[in-house]
């Protein structure tokens, strides 16, 4: 089986143009060591977009928004390509609730621009303690101390910290859930916790957390905490 150096775990929700846009970004990187794993909601079931030699697509029910799709792709990655050093989480973000939607998407996607892609890869190679990397300006910390968070998800997050033995030393997370992470960290965590069982706890449809907490938005935080709870560093680029 071919060995890859980078795996892009991409959830595409809106239309096929998102797949082509990402393929263009990958082509611009001019690196043969990139694997594309793509999840699609079931509305794409009849389209069956063609897959390239370094691509694999999966169609599933719309559960957990991009987080649910990414958990399926984590399972796929760890079953088929567990020795790929780096995983890169992306999705076709559209922020209809925000006037800054396009700007925000461009910032998050900059981690796969040719210049940043090379810088981030080199930084991981130099520093074995670096576990997660993201675009500058997208790290958040909602923790208020004493088990409380400045979010409607506070009670659920406190429960998840207990369940997964997450300490409160560093509870930052990458807002937008687009970042690089060492695959070994995913492998270690999801060897103990079944990624598909986690996905089954997420809400279906276009779930929001303005009024009440959701497991989907809690896992937006948890995917960063997997790296930080292992004592690894987070770096912005």
- Write the CATH number for 198: 3.90.550
Report yes or no: 120 and 237 within 8 Å, Cβ to Cβ: yes
Each residue's pLDDT tens digit, 4-35:
999 999 999 999 999 999 999 999 999 999 99
- What percentage of the chain exceeds 70 in pLDDT? 95
Identify whether 145 is part of a domain: no
pLDDT level of residue 97 (50, 70, 90 thresholds): very low
In a domain, 155, yes or no: no
Closest CA to 223 of 162, 159, 164, 174: 174
- Over residues 183-230, the pLDDT tens digits come to 999 999 999 999 999 999 999 998 999 999 999 999 999 999 999 999
CB atoms within 10 A of CB 23: 15
The answer as to whether 192 is a domain residue is: yes
The C-alpha atoms of residue 169 and residue 151 are separated, in whole angstroms, by 18
pLDDT in the model for residue 104: 73
Integer Cα distance of 147 and 159 in angstroms: 9
110 found inside a domain: yes
Helical H runs in 55-141? 65-80, 101-109, 114-126
Q: What is the mean pLDDT of the chain?
A: 94
User: How does residue 50 score in pLDDT terms, banded at 50, 70 and 90?
Assistant: confident
Domain membership flag for residue 75: yes
Is residue 143 situated within a structural domain? no
Domain housing 89: 6-138+174-236
First to last CA, the chain: 32
Domain count, the chain: 1
| Paired sense of beta strands 173-174 and 139-140, if any | antiparallel
pLDDT-derived band at 101 (thresholds 50, 70, 90) equals very low
Calpha distance 25→14 (Å, rounded):
18
pTM of the model: 0.94
- Is 100 a domain residue? yes
Of the candidates 183, 168, 159, 154, which has an alpha carbon nearest to the alpha carbon of residue 5? Answer: 183
Quickly count helices (H) and strands (E) in the chain. Answer: 8, 11
């Amino acid at each position: 089986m071919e060995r890859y150096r980078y795996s892009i775990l991409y959830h595409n929700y809106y239309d096929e143009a998102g797949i082509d846009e990402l393929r263009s970004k990958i082509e611009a990187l001019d690196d043969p060591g990139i694997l594309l794993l793509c999840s699609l909601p079931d509305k794409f079931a009849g389209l069956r977009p063609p897959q390239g030699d370094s691509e694999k697509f999966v169609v599933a029910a719309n559960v957990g928004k991009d987080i649910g799709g990414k958990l399926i792709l984590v399972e796929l990655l760890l079953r088929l390509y567990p020795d790929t050093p780096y995983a890169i989480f992306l999705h076709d973000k559209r922020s209809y609730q925000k006037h800054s939607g396009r700007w925000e998407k461009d910032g998050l996607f900059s981690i796969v621009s040719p210049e940043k892609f090379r810088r981030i890869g080199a930084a991981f190679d130099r520093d074995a303690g670096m576990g997660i990397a993201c675009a500058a300006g997208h790290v958040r910390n909602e923790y208020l101390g004493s088990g409380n968070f400045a979010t409607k998800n506070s009670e659920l997050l406190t429960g998840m910290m207990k369940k997964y033995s997450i300490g409160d030393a560093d509870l930052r997370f990458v807002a937008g859930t687009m970042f690089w992470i060492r695959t070994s960290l995913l492998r270690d965590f999801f060897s103990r916790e079944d990624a598909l069982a986690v996905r089954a706890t997420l809400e279906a449809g276009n779930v929001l957390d303005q009024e009440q907490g959701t497991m989907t938005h809690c896992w937006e935080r948890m995917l960063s905490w997997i790296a930080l709870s292992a004592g690894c560093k987070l770096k912005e680029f």
